[in-house]
Amino acid sequence: MRWLSPLEPNSRHQGVRNDRFDGVGDWLLETSGFREWRGGEGGADKAILFCSGDPGVGKTYLW
């Protein structure tokens, strides 16, 4: 597996999870944009959901 990539993104995710406050970002899960994207209607055309914001607004903590 290490041959595929030396990167270990799971350990970074653990760090985010530990720092994150419960419930932060839950609003996103309720938006129609998120639901449509997650549900998978629209096929490959609708496969991408991009959340944009300036530095420090909390994009990473949506995770």
Partner 1 sequence: MIDKLCDDAKREDIAVACLYYDFLAQQEQTITNVMGAILKQLVSRGGIPKEVREAFQEGKGEVGGRGPRLEDLVRMLRISIASLPRVFICIDALDECLPKLLPEVLKSLRDIVWESPGARVFLTGRPYVTEDIKKYFPKAAMTPINPKPDDIKNYLDMRLERDAEPQAMNSGLRADVVRIILGRISDT
Instruction: Provide the binding-site residues for partner 1, judged by CB under 8 A.
Output: 1, 3-10, 12-13, 16-17, 21, 23-25, 27-29, 31, 33-34, 36-38, 40, 42-55, 57-60, 62-63
Query: Whole-angstrom Cα distance, residue 53 to residue 14?
Result: 23
- Least separation in angstroms between CB 62 and partner 1: 5
- Least separation in angstroms between CB 34 and partner 1: 7
What is the distance of C-alpha 37 from the center of its chain? 12
Q: What secondary structure letter does DSSP report for 31?
A: S
Query: Whole-angstrom Cα distance, residue 7 to residue 58?
Result: 23
- Least separation in angstroms between CB 26 and partner 1: 9
